[in-house]
Each structure stands twice: as structure tokens, then as C-alpha cells.
Structure 1
Amino acid sequence: MKNSTADELHAQADQQRREVVELGLHDAEDLVYGIMPLLVRALDLDPNHLPSLDLLSDLLMEIDACEEAIELVEKLLTLAPDNADGRKKLAALVSGEENRRRLVRAYLHQKRLQLTRNPAHR
């Protein structure tokens, strides 16, 4: 792993996230925290790696670190302004306090459904 690329690190993190979701353990913070270092390393190698920005922001949302997630999503949208998923994510994150938790949970639920329904990544 010492000479891994951002794509390889992201792929490893994505696979771990998929396994966590498939096992229904997405709310186990220790598992979520365990995936994050791979994405941090990927972003150290390539600060503009869109898939890592996206996945890390999802993981931050899972642990209710919304302010940090907003920063990553804003960077993602600066790099890819037409990213519809990023816009949807940002809208959930910046919604009013009373709605944010519900909208973030709904967004994450949709992402988890996509993970379990999309066999192309397996």
C-alpha cells in the first residue's frame, strides 16, 4: 500500500464501505472511522480526487460531522460544478437545523440503496 495511487486507495475504501453497508453496519462509527484513513491518504496524493472527496464526505455525514462534509462537498462542486449528486448532498447538508438530520439520513439511505443494488462494483 505504500506506493498506492489515489484510485487504488479509493477503491479499497469503497469496497470496505460496500461491505459495511451490506452487513447493515453503516452506523457503527468505529467501522466508518476505520475507512477514513484510506481516503485521507488518497487526498494527500491527489487533493482533487473527486471519488475520494465524495466518499469521505459521505462517511463524515454518517458520523454527523456535517461541517467537515460541507467543506469537502463545496470543493467537489468547485471542481465539478455539474455534479448533480454533489448538489443534492450539499442541499441536505445546508438545510435548516431541524431538517438537516432528516435530509442527511434520507440522502445516505439512498446512497446505501445504490450500493446494494449496483452489482457493477462488486
Structure 2
Amino acid sequence: MEYATATDLYAQANQQWREAIELDLHSSEDIVYAIMPLLAQSLSLEPDYLPSLDLLSDMLMEIGAYDEALEFAERLHDLAPDETDYDHKLAALVGEENHRRRLIRAYLRQKRQRLIGNPHHH
């Protein structure tokens, strides 16, 4: 895959991320840092590629890198102000300290369930 596009790289990262979630490894920094280069590469080809920005910010949120995630969330919001999912992400990240972690956890749980299409909870 010599000439991978931003979309190809995102698809690869997304697949690996889905597998990490299915194995319950989504909060592992090792896993996150292993997948991130694909998204970084995707964004180097297409800096405003929304799916990569979205996934990257989710992954940063999973490992508690909220400040970095916030930068991407703000960019998503600027690029697609009408996308309610990005609004939710931003709202969770800028929530007041006491509630922020809970909001972020709820947001991420929802995103994970959507990604692996898991209608039944454990």
C-alpha cells in the first residue's frame, strides 16, 4: 500500500481500534500509541480529515490526554459546527473538573458501543 490515502490510513487505524475495543484494550497507552501514527500520517496527507481527527481525539481521551484531545475537538467543531457528535465531545472536554471525567467516560462508552455495534451491555 505505497500510496495510501488519508481514508486508507484512517480505515486501517479504525479497524485496529475496533479490535482493541473488542479485546477491552482501549485504555492501554501502548495500544493507543501504536495506532496513532496511522492517524498522524492520515492527517499529514489531509489535515482536515474529520474521521481521523475524531478518532485521534477519542483515543487521546481514552488515555486521559484531555488537553491534546481538546485541541482536536475544537478543530472538529470549527470544521463541522453542525455535527452534534463533535458538540458532545467538546462539551464533555470543557465540562467543569468534577463532572468532566464522568462526561468523558460516558461519551467514550457510547462511541465504543457504536463502533463495535454492541447493542447488549456486559
Q: What are the Cα deviations for residues 59-115 of structure 1, in whole angstroms up to 9, with x where unaligned?
A: 010111111111111111111110110000000000011111111111101111111
For normalisation by structure 1, the TM-score amounts to 0.93
Distance, in Å, in 1 between the alignment partners of 2:2 and 2:70 is 29
Distance, in Å, in 2 between the alignment partners of 1:8 and 1:60 is 21
Distance, in Å, in 2 between the alignment partners of 1:64 and 1:22 is 20
User: Which residue does the alignment assign to 1:40?
Assistant: 40
1:91 partner letter = A
The size of the alignment, in residue pairs, is 118
Q: CA deviation at 1:40?
A: 0.4
Q: Where in structure 2 are there 5+ consecutive unaligned residues?
A: none
2:106 partner letter = A
1:94 partner letter = V
What percent of counterpart residues are identical? 60
2:39 partner letter = L
**Contact 2:77–2:90 (CA under 8 A) maintained in structure 1:** no
Distance, in Å, in 1 between the alignment partners of 2:28 and 2:65 is 14
For normalisation by structure 2, the TM-score amounts to 0.93
User: Which residue does the alignment assign to 1:57?
Assistant: 57
In the TM superposition, structure 1's runs of 4+ consecutive aligned residues that sit over 4 Å from their partners are: none
Q: Please report the RMSD computed on the Cα atoms of aligned residues, expressed in angstroms.
A: 1.1
